[in-house]
């Protein structure tokens, strides 16, 4: 019999329920309002009263209304059919809801996450008598371009023996495809789907490895200067209008991973619309399939219920863990973790908990850390590897990074891409501030070169400050050239035009090539006799590089520009003194980079060990 | 069935508490005191205790006063008859006309399914070059005017209302000074726009709780007109007052404040309102233009800060003009590619040159010698400010673009502008004009 309780208090989306039997923390319950059942989650229990956060509008509820407890933790459905979907924070498919309800999200409506009518071509890979445990593969289906492993449900503990296994045929997600027997002889039927509670991490892997392999985002400033590793974490704080969301959108298109999960958490609905409408049209160059087929969108925008916003990031990460378990590389883009933290703050305030800094709950830091720690590069039990990389934006109040959410996030991430208002005002996109940002990961460029270029930028910045006081006339020619070199590197390499079909995504190979060309130029002593000469040289070479950046890889234009660049450069390069002494070696301000170059391990993963879902040789066709 | 109680146990701020059973959360009640009847809304239930927020304020309410529960939520009349009418923050007529009681609809409906939203695609022409040319207003956009007290923001709002080509204008006034209210009303009236307008006005003298209702009522009515195929422009002034009213009530309810006394859910509260901006497929649209005054011109104040994270851009009204820096329309790229080929490049070039002009100004202020090219920028800045930035300038987009080209040609050689040669050939004015 279902455990029931009755409402004794209501405060916005928080209800207090008096119950008789046993109630579990984080259990799902439904508040009955006429024909509607409003989903809620237990978040505190005191004696015979439980506080529940309701995931929907509570208007109309009254005291003594019935609440039905389910005994189940808040869970998501896992199985084939997740890819390409648009979900709300509780995994209701929004397209289907729109089909049934029209324009508005009326409350009390729940639809199963996985399409039940779709039939999947199942190929078994075990036979009766085989021994299995949780997360072992019983068969596969083809989901888009992926081989989707049908696994033993994660919650089954101990060893099982296969009794029956379905033959190769088409099945829907709820049909039985296997029967397994436990130690005590209990028979468990398996279908292609199962559920997993979102707040509990899936840890069915052999070991967590060091995230040493770079994740290529094809955004130059990230891959070259502030890299992200597969299985690593990074955050993007920035004031409004600095381009956080655009950066996330570009990453979701171009990142070289198997699956991207976009968690639009408490931000504008309009921002998701572009992804929803355009991703089915854009073809992913690696797989030849529409981008949408490798994407899942979890969308709980700012006007959708706050409690569901709090849950939505967990919904996203649980689906990521499911795909990681198949040996895939998954990238989660959470926009924005501040809205998620604010949802926690709202909840905490209604629970009347003692507030911490800026009224955020005291457990803010541990909760943020717990979320980011669900990332990771892991070796699975079958020897394959899989990864979850988490990139979260942070929207600090007033653009001030000293606030609790930014600080708590910085403690637990491996890379920090700080966006600055100055750079976005100057239309220098992506507006990642090279003097503030850092990364503990190793990217595609060696750390020494990275370090040198960041020092050049910091020295150039100092010279700009100096010029503001003494004017252009007041600085030496050498300083002026250094300043121009810094500007040049910034203009042609760090800035990237998101609207240019070629420039928007730069492959690893191309980045290495341009970077070494640029490095040669900024390292060289140039034969420039006065400031006008210097300015005009850098203007010309900048123009050439900008054209070069928007020329298709290895096209005629590309090669021609390369030739012109080299002609111009050789003309001004001073013979004899090959490399200019690094004036910026004694930079007054030590860059943040230095302290973070501690980790420089090379990839440990042998070739062929990983399931190759991505055709790497196609990369240059982008 | 109506329930009547006459034992109020606690009165604090605008919230009264009484003991009652079977009361729904969000239900409406009428509190009858010696000052007359006032609506009140259930904002919290704790066991038998029911917390009511009294719209007219608790002043004069006695513990023995009658509280009558209506068994329904806040509703508002919706019909074509609303057009041309003026109401207060709870929907009572302010213009002496008859009260509307038919065809009631609930306010604060559910949110729009993101899957049903459209990518914005049409521009709203306002005749103000700083908007049309530099930061186009787009149908279904939510955008705020960031400004400070004393700036002519209500004048700007009125101008946009009069010139924008929309079907219906809904003005939500919050904490308006009475003469501002009269100004807005008279402007709409004298220009003949009142017949397609609906005004919900809460003045600074009205009870503070009513202020909170204004955006909800305005947007609910707007949404319903939009569902019936109308293009609706909602003007909200001033959202800072709305936030202050939220703050006042949160503190009365003893909520823990998060930042400068504002409640922790300020972001969600604002977002719930602004996200009502929408374009319905095969129906109408809601566009929101609001005013947010920034205390001390400080954009990091919680109200403009949270607003900036929610709205799709802002117009920064400072010193009587819309500044190109600090202003941003996040949706302009959806529309300015379809207007005229030179729109986007001209916009970019003019803003960049204006940025140089400001650098030159700084240099000049520090006493550096002005070069010939510096002088060109100085001339450019003056022409730009006089002919485009000045708020009294009114011209259609085409003319604004042409004016832009004339200003450029009056100050610079074509290659100094950084505009592609092909466009220079097509648009550069033949002979140099002088000012």
Strands A75-78 and A194-197: antiparallel
Give yes or no for residue A529 having a pLDDT over 50.
yes
> For testing the chain B interface, which of A10, A101, A539 should be mutated: the one with the most B CBs within 10 Å?
A10
Q: Cβ–Cβ of A273/B117 closer than 8 Å?
A: yes
Which positions 195-234 of A are in contact with B (Cβ < 8 Å)? none
Q: Cβ–Cβ of A104/B48 closer than 8 Å?
A: no
Whether B391 contacts chain A with CB within 8 A: no
E strands in A432-496? 438-439
Q: In angstroms, what is the C-alpha Rg of chain B?
A: 25
Q: Cβ–Cβ of A359/B44 closer than 8 Å?
A: no
Residues of chain A contacting B309 with CB distance shorter than 8 Å: 240, 395
What's the topology of domain A4-73?
A: Elongation Factor Tu (Ef-tu); domain 3 (2.40.30)
At the second CATH level, the architecture of A115-192 is Beta Barrel (2.40)
Question: In 3D, which of A239, A403, A230, A446 has the Cα closest to residue A332?
Answer: A230
Neighbour tally for B28: CB within 10 Å:
19
Q: Cβ–Cβ of A241/B330 closer than 8 Å?
A: yes
Closest chain A residue to the Cα of B355, Cα to Cα: A426
Closest chain A residue to the Cα of B26, Cα to Cα: A59
- Locate tokens 């579990």: which residue? A24
Bridge partners (DSSP) of residue B31 are B38, B67
Who's near B119: CB < 8 A, 6+ residues apart? A273, A274, A277, B334
Give yes or no for residue A451 having a pLDDT over 70.
yes
pLDDT of residue A14: 93
Cα gap A276→A292, rounded to integer Å: 8
Whether B178 contacts chain A with CB within 8 A: no
The model's pLDDT over A40-87, given as tens digits with 9 standing for 90+, comes to 999 999 999 999 999 999 999 999 999 999 999 999 999 999 999 999
Mean pLDDT of chain A: 89
Whether A567 contacts chain B with CB within 8 A: no
Give the pLDDT mean for A250-275.
92
Who's near B400: CB < 8 A, 6+ residues apart? B129, B132, B133, B388
With a cut of 50, which residues of chain B have pLDDT below it? Answer: 433-435
Query: Could you give the C-alpha distances from A298 to A263, A495, B208, in angstroms and in order?
Result: 5, 30, 38
Instruction: Determine the 3-state secondary structure of B150 from DSSP.
Output: coil
Closest chain B residue to the Cα of A303, Cα to Cα: B272
Give yes or no for residue A620 having a pLDDT over 70.
no
Backbone angles phi, psi at A208, to 5 degrees: -95, 130
- Domain borders along chain A are 4-73, 115-192, 205-440, 447-596
Who's near A186: CB < 8 A, 6+ residues apart? none
> For testing the chain A interface, which of B45, B49, B114, B335 should be mutated: the one with the most A CBs within 10 Å?
B114
Cα gap A78→A196, rounded to integer Å: 7
Instruction: Tell me how close the Cα of B113 comes to any Cα of chain A, in angstroms.
Output: 5
Q: Is B150 left (phi over 0), alpha (psi -120 to 50) or beta?
A: left
Which pLDDT band, with edges at 50, 70 and 90, does A616 fall under?
Answer: very low
Give the pLDDT mean for A417-435.
89
Q: Count Cα atoms within 13 angstroms, Cβ side, for A155.
A: 15
Who's near A212: CB < 8 A, 6+ residues apart? A229, A377, A441, A442, A601, A602, A603, A604
Give the pLDDT mean for A384-391.
96
pLDDT of residue A1: 55
Give yes or no for residue A612 having a pLDDT over 60.
no
pTM listed for this prediction: 0.90
Give the pLDDT mean for A101-128.
93
With beta carbons less than 8 A apart as the criterion, state whether B72 and B27 touch.
yes
Q: Mutual orientation of helices A337-350 and A306-324 as an angle, nearest 10°?
A: 130
Cα gap B409→B405, rounded to integer Å: 6
Residues of chain B contacting A355 with CB distance shorter than 8 Å: 256
Select A447-596's CATH number: 1.10.1140.10, 2.60.40.420, 3.40.50.720, 3.30.230.70.
1.10.1140.10
Give yes or no for residue A595 having a pLDDT over 90.
no
Give yes or no for residue A332 having a pLDDT over 90.
yes
Bridge partners (DSSP) of residue A296 are A261
With beta carbons less than 8 A apart as the criterion, state whether A139 and A123 touch.
yes
Which positions 33-62 of B are in contact with A (Cβ < 8 Å)? 44-48
Cα gap A327→A383, rounded to integer Å: 9
Give yes or no for residue A613 having a pLDDT over 50.
no
Bridge partners (DSSP) of residue A208 are A378
Cα gap A27→A3, rounded to integer Å: 11
Give the pLDDT mean for A244-254.
91
Instruction: Give percent of chain A with pLDDT exceeding 90.
Output: 72
pLDDT of residue A611: 36
Q: Cβ–Cβ of B114/A86 closer than 8 Å?
A: yes
Among candidates B256, B265, B328 on the partner chain, residue whose Cβ is nearest the Cβ of A241 = B328
Q: Cβ–Cβ of A240/B265 closer than 8 Å?
A: no
Instruction: Tell me how close the Cα of B60 comes to any Cα of chain A, in angstroms.
Output: 27
Closest chain B residue to the Cα of A398, Cα to Cα: B300
- Degrees to nearest 5, angle at CA B350 with B347 and B352: 105
Among candidates B119, B267, B312 on the partner chain, residue whose Cβ is nearest the Cβ of A277 = B119
Q: Cβ–Cβ of B300/A303 closer than 8 Å?
A: no
Residues of chain A contacting B118 with CB distance shorter than 8 Å: 273
pLDDT of residue A286: 77
Q: Count Cα atoms within 13 angstroms, Cβ side, for A68.
A: 10
Bridge partners (DSSP) of residue A187 are A181
Give yes or no for residue A606 having a pLDDT over 60.
no
Query: Could you give the C-alpha distances from A57 to A45, A62, A185, A431, A497, in angstroms and in order?
Result: 22, 13, 46, 38, 43
Give the pLDDT mean for A559-567.
93
Which positions 318-357 of A are in contact with B (Cβ < 8 Å)? 339, 342-343, 345-346, 349, 355
Neighbour tally for B51: CB within 10 Å:
21
Domains along the sequence of chain B with CATH: 3-73 (2.40.30.20), 76-335 (3.40.50.12240), 343-427 (no CATH)
Q: Mutual orientation of helices B153-163 and B178-190 as an angle, nearest 10°?
A: 20
Question: In 3D, which of B306, B47, B302, B410 has the Cα closest to residue A339?
Answer: B306
Residue A201: DSSP 8-state = -
Cα gap A314→A316, rounded to integer Å: 5
Q: Cβ–Cβ of B258/A359 closer than 8 Å?
A: yes
Torsion over CA: A174, A178, A181, A182 (sign): negative
Whether B418 contacts chain A with CB within 8 A: no
Which pLDDT band, with edges at 50, 70 and 90, does A597 fall under?
Answer: very low
Residue A430: DSSP 8-state = S
Buried b (16+ CB within 10 A) or exposed e, A118-140: eebebebebeeeeebebbbbbbb
Please state which CATH number belongs to domain A205-440: 3.40.50.300
Give the pLDDT mean for A209-229.
95
Which pLDDT band, with edges at 50, 70 and 90, does A117 fall under?
Answer: very high
């Amino acid at each position: 019999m279902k455990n029931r309780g009755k409402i004794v208090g209501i405060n916005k989306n928080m209800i207090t329920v008096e119950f008789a039997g046993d109630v579990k923390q984080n259990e799902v319950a439904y508040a009955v309002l006429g024909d509607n059942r409003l989903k809620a989650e237990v978040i505190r229990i005191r004696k015979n009263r439980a506080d529940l956060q309701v995931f929907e509008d509570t208007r109309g509820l009254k005291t003594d209304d019935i609440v039905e407890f389910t005994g189940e933790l808040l869970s998501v459905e896992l199985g084939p059919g997740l890819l390409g979907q648009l979900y709300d924070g509780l995994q209701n498919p929004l397209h289907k809801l729109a089909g049934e309800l029209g324009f508005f999200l009326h409350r009390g409506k729940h639809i199963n996450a996985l399409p039940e009518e779709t039939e999947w071509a199942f190929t078994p890979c075990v036979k009766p008598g085989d021994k299995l445990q949780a997360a072992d593969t019983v068969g596969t289906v083809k989901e888009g371009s992926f081989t989707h492993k049908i696994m033993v449900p994660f919650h089954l503990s101990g060893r099982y023996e296969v009794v029956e296994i379905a033959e190769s045929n088409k099945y829907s997600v709820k049909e039985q495809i296997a029967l397994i027997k436990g130690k005590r002889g209990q028979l468990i039927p398996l279908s292609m789907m199962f559920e997993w509670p979102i707040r509990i991490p899936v840890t069915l892997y052999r070991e967590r490895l060091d995230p040493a392999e770079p994740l290529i985002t094809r955004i130059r400033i990230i891959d070259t200067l502030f890299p992200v590793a597969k299985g690593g974490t990074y955050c993007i704080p920035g004031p409004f209008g600095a381009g956080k969301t655009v950066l996330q959108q570009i990453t979701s298109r171009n990142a070289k991973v198997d699956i991207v999960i976009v968690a639009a958490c408490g931000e504008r609905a309009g921002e998701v619309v572009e992804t929803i409408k355009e991703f089915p049209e854009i073809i992913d160059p690696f797989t030849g399939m529409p981008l949408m087929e490798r994407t899942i969108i979890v969308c709980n925008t700012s006007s959708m219920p706050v409690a569901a916003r709090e849950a939505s990031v967990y919904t996203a990460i649980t689906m990521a863990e499911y795909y990681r378990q198949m040996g895939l590389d998954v990238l989660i883009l959470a926009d924005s973790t501040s809205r998620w933290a604010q949802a926690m703050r709202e909840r905490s305030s209604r629970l009347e908990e003692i507030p911490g800094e800026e009224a955020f709950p005291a457990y803010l830091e541990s909760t943020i850390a717990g979320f980011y720690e669900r990332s990771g590069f892991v070796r699975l039990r079958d020897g394959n590897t899989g990864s979850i990389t988490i990139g979260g934006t942070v929207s600090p109040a007033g653009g001030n990074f000293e606030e609790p959410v930014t600080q708590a996030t910085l403690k637990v991430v491996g890379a920090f891409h700080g966006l600055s208002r100055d750079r976005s005002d100057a239309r220098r996109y992506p507006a990642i501030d090279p003097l503030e940002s850092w990364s503990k990961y190793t990217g595609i460029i060696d750390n020494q070169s990275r370090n040198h270029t960041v020092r050049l930028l910091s020295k150039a910045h100092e010279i700009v400050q100096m010029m503001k006081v003494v004017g252009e006339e007041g600085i030496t020619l050498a300083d002026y050239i250094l300043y121009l070199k810094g500007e040049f590197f910034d203009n042609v390499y760090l800035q990237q035009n998101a609207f240019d079909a070629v420039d928007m995504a730069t492959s690893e190979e191309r980045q290495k090539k341009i970077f070494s060309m640029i490095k040669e130029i900024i390292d060289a002593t140039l034969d420039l006799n006065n400031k006008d000469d210097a300015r005009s040289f850098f203007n010309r070479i900048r123009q050439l590089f900008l054209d070069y950046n928007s020329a298709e890889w290895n096209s005629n234009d590309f090669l021609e520009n390369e030739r012109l660049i080299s002609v111009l450069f050789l003309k001004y390069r001073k013979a004899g003194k090959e490399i200019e002494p690094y004036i910026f070696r004694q930079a007054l301000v030590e860059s943040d980079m230095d302290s973070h170059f501690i980790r420089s391990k090379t990839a440990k993963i042998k070739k062929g060990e990983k399931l190759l879902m991505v055709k790497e040789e196609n990369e240059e066709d982008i | 069935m109506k329930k009547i109680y006459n034992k109020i146990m606690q009165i604090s701020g605008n919230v009264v508490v009484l003991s009652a059973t079977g009361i729904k959360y969000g239900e409406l009640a009428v509190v009858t005191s010696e000052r007359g009847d006032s609506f009140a809304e259930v904002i919290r239930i704790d066991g038998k205790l029911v917390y009511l927020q009294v719209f007219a304020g608790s002043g004069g309410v006695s513990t023995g006063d009658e509280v009558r529960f209506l068994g329904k939520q806040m509703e508002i009349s919706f019909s074509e008859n609303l057009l041309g009418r003026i109401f207060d923050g709870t929907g009572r007529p302010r213009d002496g006309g008859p009260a509307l009681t038919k065809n009631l609809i609930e306010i604060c409906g559910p949110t729009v399914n993101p899957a049903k939203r459209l990518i914005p695609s049409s521009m709203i022409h306002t005749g103000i070059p700083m908007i049309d040319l530099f930061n186009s207003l787009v149908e279904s956009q939510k955008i705020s005017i960031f400004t400070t007290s004393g700036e002519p923001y209500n004048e700007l709002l009125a101008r946009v209302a009069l010139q924008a080509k929309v079907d219906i204008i809904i003005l939500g006034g919050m904490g308006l000074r009475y003469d501002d209210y009269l100004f807005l009303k008279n402007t709409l009236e004298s220009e003949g726009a009142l017949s397609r307008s609906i005004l919900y006005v809460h003045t600074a003298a009205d009870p503070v709780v009513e202020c909170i209702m204004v955006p909800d009522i305005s947007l609910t009515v707007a949404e319903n007109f939009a569902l019936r195929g109308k293009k609706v422009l909602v003007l909200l002034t001033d959202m800072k007052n709305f936030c202050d009213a939220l703050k006042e009530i949160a503190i009365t309810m003893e909520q823990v404040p998060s930042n400068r006394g504002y409640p922790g859910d300020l972001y969600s509260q604002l977002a719930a309102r602004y996200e009502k901006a929408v374009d319905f497929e095969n129906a109408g649209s809601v566009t929101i233009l609001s005013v947010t005054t920034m205390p001390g011109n400080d954009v990091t104040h919680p109200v403009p800060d949270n607003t900036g994270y929610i709205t799709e851009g802002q117009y920064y009204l400072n010193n009587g003009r819309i500044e190109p820096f600090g202003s941003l329309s996040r949706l302009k790229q959806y529309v300015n590619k379809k207007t005229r080929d030179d729109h986007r490049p001209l916009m970019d070039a003019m803003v960049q040159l204006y940025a140089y002009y400001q650098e030159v100004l700084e240099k000049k202020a520090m006493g550096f010698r002005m070069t010939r090219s510096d002088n060109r920028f100085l001339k450019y800045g003056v022409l730009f400010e006089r002919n485009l930035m000045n708020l009294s300038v009114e011209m259609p987009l085409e003319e604004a673009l042409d004016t832009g080209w004339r200003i450029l040609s009056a100050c610079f050689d074509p290659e100094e502008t950084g505009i592609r040669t092909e466009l220079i050939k097509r648009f550069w004015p033949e002979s140099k004009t002088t000012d």
